[in-house]
Chains A and B, each alone.
Chain A
């Protein structure tokens, strides 16, 4: 079990575009959201110095760990993992997840029915999330 807890996307000004929390962790939703917002502050800090889009580990506490990614256009993505799970994702795998979701994001904003700045819904994200949670089983 790899313990993928959730995936979040925020716009440049931190407006939330997409969020998903693994149903397995639905009980701790508030805690996870709080943790994500804490991580979001660290994105700003790290982005200024970063030399690549992947920001590495942002924040961790006893329960969760978060990884960040910022695109050239300032879109932030945050992946939350369970810090207590035995096995964990490798750095390379996490990069791949972000890359894949960046692709999904591109596809979603290309939808003519999508209004810029509003929360996103798309079959790409749905599929991506399904894959993400299934690998963590």
Chain B
């Protein structure tokens, strides 16, 4: 927990999870209402509830879309000053060095392709491209 950002991040997750809980509750409530319904016309009275219950965004997708937006904005800004990245390796290097430094304040600890076995770190992610599987570690 080095950055105030981490606390903010935890708070975002909590909020999103709460929203998820609300959605599940609304769904359940809708289920019980549905059982006691007289006719299809009555359903219009519960329009708000229906809207809430059938939102097609769960907590994970919500978080993912936040991450996507933030990452997109950041990468555009960070790569503005960078030279043109042509090869795949250049792009990966850029992510690990410049992008990581500007986002997390340091470079990645480790970068491996599928030619080597990766060790266990606090944090790592995999991604695939045409030729390689990459494993990046370290926040």
Say yes or no: A109 contacts B73, CB within 8 Å: yes
How large, as a class, is the contact surface on chain B? Answer: 10 to 19
Interface residues of B in 43-85 (CB under 8 A from A): 69, 72-73, 75-77, 79-80, 82-85
B86 interface hit (Cβ, 8 Å) = yes
How many residues belonging to A are interface residues under a CB distance threshold of 8 Å?
A: 16
Cβ distance B43 to chain A, nearest Cβ, rounded Å: 31
Chain A's interface: helix, strand, loop or mixed, by majority? loop
A71–B76 CB distance below 8 A: yes
- Give Cα distance in the complex from A129 to B117, angstroms: 52
Q: Tally the A-B contacts, defined by beta carbons under 8 Å.
A: 38
Query: Which residue from B76, B82, B84, B94 sits with its C-beta under 8 Å from A105?
Result: B76
Residues in B neighbouring A75, C-beta threshold 8 A? 76
* Contact present for A106 and B83 (CB under 8 Å): no
In the complex, A51 Cα to B80 Cα: how many Å? 14
Is the pair B72, A53 in contact by a Cβ cutoff of 8 Å?
A: no
Within 8 A of A (CB), among B75-110: 75-77, 79-80, 82-86, 91, 94
Interface residues of A (CB under 8 A from B): 50-53, 70-73, 75, 102-103, 105-106, 109-110, 116
The 3 closest A-B pairs by CB, nearest first: A72-B79, A52-B84, A53-B84
